Structure 1
Amino acid sequence: MDKVIQQYQEDENVMIQLFAKWCANHQLDALTLYAQAYPQQEKNLLLEKAVAETEKDALEIDTETLLNVLQLFGNEDLAFVVFEEANKQEKRY
C-alpha cells in the first residue's frame, strides 16, 4: 500500500512540474492560474517549488498532453483554465 501511495505522489509531482513548465513556456503565472482554478485552496507548496525550479523552454509541453495529464489526476478545473488560456494565446498569434 505504501508503494502505491508513493507512486501516486511521484506521479502527482510530475504533473505539477509539467504544469509549471507549460506555464513558463507560455509566459503565464502558474500560481495565478492554479488560484483561478481552485480559489478556496491554500497555497500549493509543491507548485511553488516547481515554479521556482522551472527553467523556461527547458522542455516543451504540448497543451493537449498537459490537459490529458491534468484530467488523469482529476484536475478538471485546472484543465479548463489551461484550455481557456491556451485558446486566448492562439487567438493572439
Structure 2
Amino acid sequence: MNRSERDQYIIERYQAGEAEMILLFVEWCHHHKLDPLEIYREAYPNQELPENLIEINQDKLESNDTFELETALLLDVLQLYGNDDLAFVVSNYAEKLSKK
C-alpha cells in the first residue's frame, strides 16, 4: 500500500467512524425522545447542521426503532471525535433525564 492509498484508507475509516458516532448520538436522542438536530444546534449555534446528521436522523425517523445506549459510551465516542461541546450538552440533558 503506497502513501496515497494509506492516506485514503485512514480518511475512509475516520469518516466511517464519524458516521457511527452520529448514529449513536441520534439513537440516544430518539431513545430519550429528544430532537438530535435541536441538541446539535444548542451545542454548535453558529454551525450549519451536518448533512450526515440530517440524513441519519431522517432514516431513524422513518425506521422508528431505537435501542438503549449508555450515556457514558456516547460521551466517550463524542469526545473521541472532538465533539466536546456536544458531549457537554448531552451530559446536561442526561442529568436532567436522570432526575425525572
TM range (shorter): over 0.9
**Normalising by the residue count of structure 1, what TM-score does the alignment of the two structures yield?**
0.94
Partner of 2:11: 5
Question: What is the 5 A alignment of 1:1-93?
Answer: 1-54=7-60, 55-92=63-100
Q: CA deviation at 1:58?
A: 2.8
TM-score computed with the length of structure 2 as normaliser: 0.87
Count of residues in correspondence between the two structures: 92
* Unmatched segments (≥5 aa) in structure 2: 1-6
Larger of the two Rg values belongs to structure: 2
**Alpha-carbon displacement from aligned partner over 1:20-52 (angstroms, at most 9, x marks no partner):** 000000000000000000011012111111111
Report SS of the residue matched to 2:28.
helix
Query: 2:32 is aligned with what amino acid?
Result: H
Instruction: Give identity over the alignment, percent.
Output: 45
Distance of aligned partners of 1:20 and 1:88 in 2 relative to their CA distance in 1, 3 Å threshold: same
Assess if the C-alpha contact under 8 Å between 1:21 and 1:56 holds in 2.
no
CA RMSD of aligned residues (A): 1.0
* Helix, strand or coil at the partner of 2:82: coil
For structure 1, the residue ranges without an aligned partner over 5 or more in a row are none
Q: 1:24 to 1:56 in 2, by over 3 A?
A: farther
